[in-house]
Chain A
Amino acid sequence: MARIVIGQYYPAPSVIHRLDARVKLVGTMFFIVTLFIAGTWAGYGVAALALAGVIYLSKVPPMFMFRGLRAMLFILIFTASLNLFLTPGEVVLVEFFFIRVTLEGVSHAGQIALRLIILIVGSTVMTLTTTPIQLTDAIETLLNPFKKLRIPVHEIAMMMTIALRFIPTLMEEVDKIMKAQMARGADFDTGGLIKRAKSLIPLLIPLFVSAFRRADELAQAMDARCYRGDVNRTKMKIMRFAPRDFLASGILIIYGAILIFIGRMG
C-alpha cells in the first residue's frame, strides 16, 4: 500500500525548515498582510523577490511550490478577468461591443493575479517546510494567552494532534472496507450523483462505527497513561528561539519597512 503523506511536508536540510514554527506561522501572516499594503508594481516586485529568496533557501524544488496554484487556478483566472474587463480607465486598448479593456485594467488585473500567486505560494512554502505537528505546537503556544479567557487551547491542540495521527489509520480502513464491499458486489464508480452518494452509505457506517470504537479505546489508553488534560503537564520539546529565529524576525521587520516605504513613494 502506498505511503500516505499527511499535509505536504517536504523534508530537506534547510535553514527555513529549522526555523521555529512560530516564526514561520507569524511570518507568513505578516507577509500576507504586507501584500495588501504594497499596492504598486514595485511593491509586488520586492515581495516576489523576497519570496524567491525564501524558496531558494528552503531547498524545496520550486515545482512543489506551484502545485498549490493548480487548485486555485479557477479563482485566479476569474478574479483577474473581472478586473481586466471592469476597471474603468482613460486609455482604451480594445473596445468590442460591451467589452472594454483599458490599460489600467490590464495593470490592475496583473497586480491582482500576482498578489494571489505570491499569497498562495507564500503559504505553501510554510506548509512544505513545517510538519503538521510543529504547526500544531506553534498554534498551541501562540494561543496560550487565550487560556486566561478559558479557551481550551491545550484540548484543541490535542484534538488536532489526534486527528493528524488517525488520518492515515482511517484512510487505510476506508480502503479495506471499500475492498470488502466491492468483493461483495458494491459499486462505487458508476451512476449519477445521487446513486453514488447512496453507495457511500455502506462505506461510511462501518467507518463511523469503527472510529467510535477506536476513540473509546484511545480514551482508555490515554487514561491509563495518566492523561488528565492540561493539569500539571510538561513538554519534552520546549520551543525556544535560536539566534536564527531572531535574525529571521529582524529580516521580516526590515522587509515590512521597505514595503511600506515603497508604498508611500508610489
Chain B
Amino acid sequence: MRKLACEHFQIRRTPTPTKRSEGGGERGWSIIFHSQNLHFEYVRYNESEENTLALSDVNIHINQGEFVAILGHNGSGKSTLARHLNALLAPTSGTLWVQGMDTEDPNNTWPIRQMAGMVFQNPDNQLVATIVEEDVAFGPENLGVPSAEIRQRVDNALQTVRMSEYAQSSPHQLSGGQKQRIAIAGILAMGPDCIVLDEPTAMLDPSGRQEVMDTILQLNNEKHITVILITHFMEEAVKAKRVIVMDKGAVVMDGIPREIFKQVDKMKDLGLDVPSATGLANVLRKRGIPIQEDVLTDEEFIQSILNHVKEYHDSKN
C-alpha cells in the first residue's frame, strides 16, 4: 500500500511551481515525506575516530497538510533529519522519498528543494540581499521564474507574512522575529508544498517567537502548507497536530501532542521537558489531587483546577 502511493507519485512528480497558488484540490491523503530504514552517518575526517551515527532506522510518513513538531535533545538527530527532507544531506543507507522523488537522485535535488523549503535558526545568516524584497526574490530568481511573476510572488509572500511595509528596508534594520518572517517569505515565494523550520525561534525574544509561531500556524491553516517544526519549546510543540520525539537518531515517540506529553516521566527520561501546565498537573496528581493527566495549556489547567474545586465544594455541601 505504501509502495503503491509512491508509484503513484513517480508519475506526477514533475513539479509545477505554480501549483500552490491554485490552492485546494485533492489533498489530505497524499504522502509528502516517506522514509524507509533511513540511516545517516557523519564521516569523521580523523581516521582514528569512528563515524557518528546520526540517524538510525528512521521510518516516517508525513502527509500533505500536516503540522508536525519534532522534539529531541541536542544530538538526537532532529536537525540531521530536517536536512534530509530537502536533500541537503543524502542518506548513508535506506531511502527517503519526497513526493515520490528519491532524495538520492541528483536530478531530484532542485525540485525537492523548491518543494520543501527550509528556514534555519540564525535569522542573520540566511538573508542574502541588502534589501528585503530582493531577498524574497532570491529563491524564485534561482528557479528561473519570469520577472513579472517574481514581482507578484514577492508581493504576495510579503503580504502573507505581513511585512509588505518593510519591502524596501535593509535586513539589519529589522528585529529577529521580522527577519525570520522575511526568511519564511523567501521560502513562500518559491511556491513550496512544505516548510521545514529548524529551531526558527531559538534566537528570538518572546514577542518575536510569538510572531513567527502565528505566521507558521497561519500558513498551515490557511495555505495548507505542510509544516515541520523542530523546536525546543514545548509550548510551540503543543500547537502542532502531531509530535515526533527523537532520541539517539531514532524515532522513539510519534503521536498527537496530548498523548505524547501525558507521558511526563518518559519525556523526562529522554531529557525533554513537557509544557509547564502538564508538568504542574503531573506533580499535583502525584500529590493526590485528581487533575486530568492530559492538560496541555494554562487554560486547560485552570479549568481542571476549577472543576476540582467545584467538585470538592459540592461534596462538602
Could you tell me if A165 and B145 are in contact, using CB atoms closer than 8 angstroms? no
Could you tell me if B172 and A168 are in contact, using CB atoms closer than 8 angstroms? yes
Could you tell me if A226 and B114 are in contact, using CB atoms closer than 8 angstroms? yes
Could you tell me if B186 and A225 are in contact, using CB atoms closer than 8 angstroms? yes
Residues of A within 8 A of B186 (CB): 225
Show 18 A/B contacts (Cβ-Cβ < 8 Å), sorted by A: A4-B172, A132-B130, A133-B129, A133-B134, A165-B130, A169-B172, A214-B124, A218-B126, A223-B88, A223-B113, A224-B86, A224-B113, A225-B138, A225-B139, A226-B139, A234-B146, A237-B134, A237-B147
CA distance A232 to B131 in the complex (A): 23
CB distance from B293 to the nearest CB of A (A): 40
CB distance from B146 to the nearest CB of A (A): 6
Considering only residues 123-146 of chain B, those with a C-beta below 8 Å from chain A are 124-131, 133-134, 137-146
Known: A4-B172, A232-B144. A225 touches B190 (CB 8 A): yes
Could you tell me if B141 and A236 are in contact, using CB atoms closer than 8 angstroms? yes
Residues of B within 8 A of A233 (CB): 141-142, 144
CA distance A132 to B129 in the complex (A): 11
CA distance A232 to B173 in the complex (A): 32
Tell me, yes or no, whether A217 is within 8 Å of chain B by CB: yes
Considering only residues 54-69 of chain A, those with a C-beta below 8 Å from chain B are none
Known: A217-B125, A228-B110, A233-B144. A133 touches B130 (CB 8 A): yes
Could you tell me if B126 and A221 are in contact, using CB atoms closer than 8 angstroms? yes
Interface of B is mostly: helix
CA distance A227 to B248 in the complex (A): 32
Q: Which of A3, A221, A223 contacts B125 (CB 8 A)?
A: A221
Residues of A near any B CB (own CB < 8 A): 3-4, 6, 132-133, 161-162, 164-165, 168-169, 172, 213-214, 217-218, 220-228, 232-238
Known: A234-B146, A234-B147. A224 touches B129 (CB 8 A): no
CB distance from A239 to the nearest CB of B (A): 11
Residues of B within 8 A of A165 (CB): 127-130, 171
Residues of B within 8 A of A237 (CB): 134, 147
CA distance A69 to B278 in the complex (A): 67
Nearest A residue to B136 via CB reads: A236
Give the residue among A164, A227, A234 with the most B Cβ atoms within 10 A: A234
Tell me, yes or no, whether B212 is within 8 Å of chain A by CB: no
CA distance A165 to B127 in the complex (A): 8
Q: Which of B117, B122, B131, B154 contacts A225 (CB 8 A)?
A: B117
Residues of B within 8 A of A224 (CB): 86, 88, 113, 117-118, 120
Residues of B within 8 A of A3 (CB): 173
Tell me, yes or no, whether B70 is within 8 Å of chain A by CB: no
Could you tell me if A227 and B138 are in contact, using CB atoms closer than 8 angstroms? yes
The 6 closest A-B pairs by CB, nearest first: A221-B126, A236-B137, A217-B125, A168-B172, A224-B118, A236-B150
CB distance from A5 to the nearest CB of B (A): 10
CA distance A238 to B148 in the complex (A): 10
CA distance A235 to B149 in the complex (A): 10
CA distance A220 to B122 in the complex (A): 12
Could you tell me if A227 and B126 are in contact, using CB atoms closer than 8 angstroms? no
CB distance from B172 to the nearest CB of A (A): 4
Tell me, yes or no, whether B239 is within 8 Å of chain A by CB: no
CB distance from A169 to the nearest CB of B (A): 5
Nearest A residue to B147 via CB reads: A238
CA distance A252 to B144 in the complex (A): 36
Could you tell me if A226 and B190 are in contact, using CB atoms closer than 8 angstroms? yes
Give the residue among B126, B131, B171 with the most A Cβ atoms within 10 A: B126
CB distance from B133 to the nearest CB of A (A): 8
